Chains A and B, each alone.
Chain A
């Protein structure tokens, strides 16, 4: 497993970008002079200079400091929302796939109904209805709305695992449902769930950015989407103040790209037959590749895994 990871350049590149982004967000604010993203250090859209590396935004805040805190907010919301969504998806999907029958029909019916409604619409309506939006409520709202894809994918896995021999043997030796799920089912889906989590993480970060850009972001903090919101509102794009919108745009792109690349390279490690080669070398695949959600209400178009 580890050797496979070592040989996968795409995995290394993606992980490298991610580590840099995380270091930037975690340790950046600890440097002297970076303590307060809302400190007024200049005027309206000051140009980048030796002391203000990325200039100032429309309020005279230091864009570089804002970028650190904004990235941090986006990552935190992404992690919490991604974890919530993956947890709900795995619980519902495993239950449905493992138990089958009426429970499966009911749970998957519910999931299919929710999937049909565009996530971002539910997100907008929910965020508008929330009076006090902070990082935690935003993350919960995003997590609670984006689990259906994971539930659907996990159900397919769980119901194919259910009829495997090792599960039958465990069942014959008298293992209970909880034990079967925890020991015989979940570990076999671990790679799958990890990839689903990475996708949920990317999608949550993009959803937060989209909501914040619309003006529905968390209050009293800065996030990448909020930076874009103000940049658009104050016409920085059209007045040429590139330092106000290019940094958050690139940061979002890097985060999303590295997460998706991470997922697709993990997919190749877990599913070796997907590796690229000449057309002649390929054979029809025996087992379908992971097919997860179109990621991100606000951003990513199609499913990268499929």
Chain B
């Protein structure tokens, strides 16, 4: 237990460092935007205002955003605000707080991505293990198609799916998270409607994720195939399904770390896919924020992505340490 605590603490220290780096980058870089964000805001708001009036508005905002204070003080204020969950106010929907825009979109993104990641991980690894075990044409076909699918950007498959299955052959609704006639509420009608809109983006994420996991699992499983327990099991006359299950369990461990490593990629890929589907999640919010130079919303979203990926990574690593005692023992020694 002692070693496990050291393992967790060691990991936590690294992730805290990364978190600090992410916060600083996210806070400082937007400040490099030429002619600070207030100018952009004033230009957006004060269309009719002129001269003195414009300058007054400008000064008020400079003061409100604290841009007249020294840099370190701005950072302290920013940190304080973060701790209160205050991410500033949106420029394009002024004065709506960024946080409330994000909390509107976040459930959609979570509902789309978490099931897609779990289902994709399970199916992809199962496919990879079976392909490695069976070998031959099945392996070659599964490997090549997995490689093809996994090299495809998420949004590319999304675009092709929308066109193929929603426009050319109208099986699914082509856009949005629910019909315009509906408003988000807890009714069976709304949930049914939302489910209809859910399939296409979900499939496009899952298929690509399956491909990536299958490619990884296949080569992990090939290592396992030569192991003594496989030969022994075979000589005992065990069924294929059973041996594949053993292989799966052994080869799945590195795949857990693989999941942690690729999480950032999956999440950002999923966000861009939302844009293709006009899905009302964070990705679409980010898209419109970029179009309107809504800097507070952009940095709120990027911060949220960075933090949640870091936290998820940390949890996966802890889970990994729990599953595999060798890792605990090996890694508590160094970092």
Contact = CB atoms under 8 A, between A and B. Distances in A.
Asked if A and B are interacting partners, one says: yes
Interface of A: 105, 109, 112-122, 124-126, 128-129, 131, 202, 206, 209-210, 213-216, 228, 232, 237-238, 240, 242, 245-246, 249, 252-253, 256-257, 259-261, 264, 274, 276-279, 282-285, 289, 293-304, 306
A301 B291 contact: no
A116 to B, nearest CB: 4
Contact of A238 (B174, B222, B269, B286): B174
Interface in B14-54: 14-15, 17-18, 21-22, 25-26, 29-34
27 contacts: A105-B335, A112-B18, A113-B21, A116-B310, A117-B309, A118-B267, A118-B309, A121-B302, A128-B29, A129-B30, A215-B290, A246-B159, A249-B160, A257-B147, A257-B152, A294-B212, A295-B151, A296-B265, A299-B154, A299-B155, A299-B156, A301-B211, A302-B150, A302-B215, A302-B216, A303-B261, A306-B258
Contacts of B166: 238
B223 interface: yes
B268 interface: yes
Contacts of A122: 25
Given A125-B299, A298-B269, A301-B209, A202 B291 contact: no
A246 B225 CA distance: 41
A304 B215 contact: yes
Contacts of B15: 116
B139 interface: yes
A202 B152 CA distance: 11
Interface of B: 14-15, 17-18, 21-22, 25-26, 29-34, 132-136, 139-140, 143, 147-148, 150-156, 159-160, 162-163, 166-168, 174-175, 208-209, 211-213, 215-216, 219-220, 222-223, 225-227, 254, 258, 261-262, 264-269, 272, 275-276, 286-287, 290-291, 295, 298-299, 302, 305-306, 309-310, 313, 335
B152 A303 contact: no
Nearest to B218: A276
A252 B152 CA distance: 8
A256 B268 contact: no
B150 A300 contact: yes
Contacts of B135: 276-279
B295 A128 contact: yes
B68 to A, nearest CB: 21
A126 B163 CA distance: 33
B148 A125 contact: no
A36 B263 CA distance: 41
Given A112-B14, A116-B18, A237-B276, A296 B216 contact: no
- Chain B's interface: helix, strand, loop or mixed, by majority? helix
Contacts of A256: 151-153
Contacts of A242: 163, 168
Contact of A297 (B215, B222, B261, B268): B268
Contacts of B33: 128-129, 131
A237 B216 contact: no
B216 A303 contact: yes
B21 A114 contact: yes
Given A128-B290, A215-B290, A264-B147, A240 B295 contact: no
Contacts of B152: 253, 256-257, 299-300
Nearest to A122: B25
A261 B166 CA distance: 31
A16 to B, nearest CB: 15
A301 B272 contact: no
Nearest to A294: B262
Given A131-B34, A232-B276, A282-B225, A302 B306 contact: no
Contact of B290 (A202, A216, A293, A303): A216
A216 B167 CA distance: 28
Contacts of A282: 222, 225-226
Nearest to A293: B261
Nearest to A112: B14
Given A252-B153, A299-B153, A238 B167 contact: yes
